[in-house]
Every structure is written in C-alpha cells, then in structure tokens.
C-alpha cells in the first residue's frame, strides 16, 4: 500500500513539474526563436486601440465557446457511462489540452479527461472519447475536402473533368467514413466475435449505446465547433490586414485544417507543420507571408497555448492521491 502511495506521489509531482517546463520550452522554440512571431506585437500596433479591444474580446469569447462546445460534446458522451456536470467536463477538456500538447495527434487529451471520471469507468471513457474525436475529424475532413476542391478549381485552375474526378473520389471517401461512423454496433460485434479482441469487448460494448440520433447530435456539434474556430481564423486575418472573401477564406482554412488532421504531429510543435501549409495556401490569394504567419501563430496561441496554461491550473489543484481511490 505504501509503495502504491509513493508511486502516486511520484507521478503527481512529475506531471506537475514536467508540464510547465515542457510548455516553457515549447513557447521558447515556437515563439522566441520564430522571427515572424516576434513581429506580431508590431502588427498589433497598426490596429486602433478600441478596435483591438473589440477583437480581443470577440476572439476570447469565441475561444470559450469553442472549448465549451467540446466540453458539452464530451459530456454527452460520458453521461451514458456516469453522471458528470458541465463544469467538470470543462475542467477535464482543458486538462486534456495541457497533457495532449506533448503527445502525437493530442492522444494525451484522453488521459487528461479521464482523470475526472471515476476510476472504474475510465477505460470506457477513453473508448467513447474516440467517438468524439471521430466526429470532429469527420467534420474537418468533409469541409476540408470541399475547401480543397474549391481551391483546386479557383486557384490552381484544374479542368472541370479533373475537378469532377476529385469530387467523385472524395464523395466515396466521405460516404465510407459516414457509414463507419453510423455503424458503431458493427465494430462492437467484431470485438465480440474476435478471439483476440474479445477480452476488451466489455468495454467496447458501450459503443452500441450511441444511436443515430446521438451520433447526429455529436456531428452537428462538431460542425458548430469547426465553424467557431474558422471564424476565429478569419477574424485574425482581418485584424492583421488580410483581404480575402469569405468563400476563399473558408476554403483555404479548410485545406489547412485538413492537412493538419492527416499529418501526424505533436500539438506543441503543430505550428511547425501548420505554418508552411498556411503560408503556401494564403500566398495564392495574395496574402503576405508575415500576415498569414501572424494569424496562424495567434490562433495557435489562443486555442491551444492559453487553454493549456489554464488547464495546468486544474492539474496543480488535482489531488492524484485522493482521486486514485475513486
């Protein structure tokens, strides 16, 4: 018993000490060593004081709405396992953001979130969290593919026949993804019948509890959340002086988020993979590299780094020893 308590204390201290060190290192590499990022304050000076305050308030509210939607989405998933209050899911989501910064494709988010679920339900909570990730990725892929087709036709000026071919292949791919999403009970049966996967069937059986109505609600929330951080991106572009119409802006942002989804990366260095794509795509619309870099860096700070810092506050206050017993 004493050995277990010592391990709990060790990991509690390790997490609480390591996270701020890694976060500080990431900010140093991504911002201090990034010459373009250092120009953001100068660009902000070109915005009027009253206008800047309005932008900051609007963007902050949209950031809270963004993660509020995600918290509600996760609550709707977990509530089929155990009752959980909205504020607790909000803390769980932000704690997940903090821990997810340092793992490939943010898989560490699951580990942060399940800290707020009773111990006996944690494996099931990870399983159902995959549905939430699937729905969000599905929204990103659908809008991203549409944006890619618009971009290829408008900017790269590919022929109508090639556009049709790309659209047809994309439609088939999206249809297959939707079929997989709306047939989770088939996945459950595969686990049940497989000799090798049968052992985890008791945990995956919960997937069958999510019916078409539940999955549609989650997907709509995912699209709503996507529209929020797309709006944030457009606002940042406008704030830094970019001139781009809404349709072109949405299609360009869709391509950037699509690339971000399909290219594995650590969220803490996600900026390194996002910046080259963003500058390439936006340059096709005549947006200066400095402007696109400033907007892309700013949305990374607002939607990931700031919530990660706030999430760390929840980690500091989390009692690993007490919650280990629950």
* pLDDT at position 321: 47
Q: Worst-scoring range by mean pLDDT, 274-283, 305-314, 317-326? A: 317-326
* pLDDT at position 73: 96
- Report the distance separating Cα 257 and Cα 280, nearest Å: 13
Task: Report pLDDT digits (tens) over 5-47.
Answer: 555 555 566 666 676 676 666 666 666 556 666 666 666 667 7
pLDDT band with cut points at 50, 70 and 90 for residue 273: low
Residue 109 near residue 196, CB atoms below 8 Å: no
Look at 109 and 75; give whichever has higher pLDDT: 75
pLDDT band with cut points at 50, 70 and 90 for residue 272: low
With CA atoms as reference, report the closest residue to 320 among 99, 42, 129.
99
Tally of domains within the chain: 1
CA angle 282, 284, 285 (to 5 degrees): 70
Residue 49 in this model has a pLDDT that exceeds 60: yes
Q: Worst-scoring range by mean pLDDT, 159-173, 194-208, 267-281? A: 267-281
**Two structure tokens written together for 314:** 């929840």
Burial grade of 53 (CB within 10 A; 0-12, 13-18, 19 or more): exposed
Q: Worst-scoring range by mean pLDDT, 115-129, 141-155, 173-187, 199-213? A: 199-213
With CA atoms as reference, report the closest residue to 103 among 22, 27, 30.
22
- Report the distance separating Cα 289 and Cα 180, nearest Å: 39
What is the DSSP track for 206-271?
Answer: GGGG--HHHHHHHHHHHHHHHHHHHHHHHHHHHHTT----HHHHHHHHHHHHHHHHHS--BGGGHH
Question: Which residues constitute the domain of residue 93?
Answer: 2-324
Residue percentage of the chain with pLDDT more than 70: 80
């Amino acid at each position: 018993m004493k050995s277990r308590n010592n391990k709990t204390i060790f990991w509690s201290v390790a997490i609480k000490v390591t996270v701020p060190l890694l976060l500080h290192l990431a900010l140093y590499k991504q911002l201090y060593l990034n010459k373009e990022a250092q120009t953001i304050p100068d660009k902000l000076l070109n915005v009027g004081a009253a206008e800047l305050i309005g932008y900051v308030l609007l963007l902050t509210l949209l950031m809270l709405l963004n993660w509020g939607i995600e918290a509600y989405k996760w609550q709707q998933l977990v509530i089929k396992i155990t009752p959980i209050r909205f504020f607790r899911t909000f803390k769980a989501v932000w704690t997940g953001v903090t821990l997810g910064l340092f793992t490939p494709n943010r898989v560490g988010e699951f580990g942060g979130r399940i800290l707020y679920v009773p111990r006996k339900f944690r494996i099931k909570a990870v399983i159902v969290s995959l549905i939430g990730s699937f729905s969000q990725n599905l929204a990103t892929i659908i809008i991203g593919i549409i944006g890619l087709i618009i971009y290829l036709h408008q900017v790269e000026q590919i022929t109508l026949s090639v556009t049709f071919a790309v659209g047809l292949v994309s439609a088939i791919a999206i249809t297959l993804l939707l079929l997989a999403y709306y047939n989770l009970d088939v996945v459950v049966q595969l686990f049940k019948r497989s000799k090798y996967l049968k052992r985890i069937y008791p945990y995956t059986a919960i997937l069958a509890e999510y019916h078409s109505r539940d999955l549609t609600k989650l997907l709509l929330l995912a699209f709503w959340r996507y529209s929020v951080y797309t709006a944030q991106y457009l606002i940042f572009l406008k704030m830094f002086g970019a001139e781009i119409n809404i349709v072109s802006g949405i299609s360009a942002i869709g391509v950037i988020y699509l690339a971000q989804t399909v290219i594995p990366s650590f969220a803490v260095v996600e900026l390194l993979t996002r910046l080259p794509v963003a500058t390439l795509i936006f340059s096709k619309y005549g947006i200066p590299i400095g402007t696109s870099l400033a907007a892309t860096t700013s949305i990374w700070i607002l939607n990931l780094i700031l919530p990660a810092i706030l999430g760390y506050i929840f980690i500091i206050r989390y009692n690993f020893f007490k919650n280990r017993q629950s």
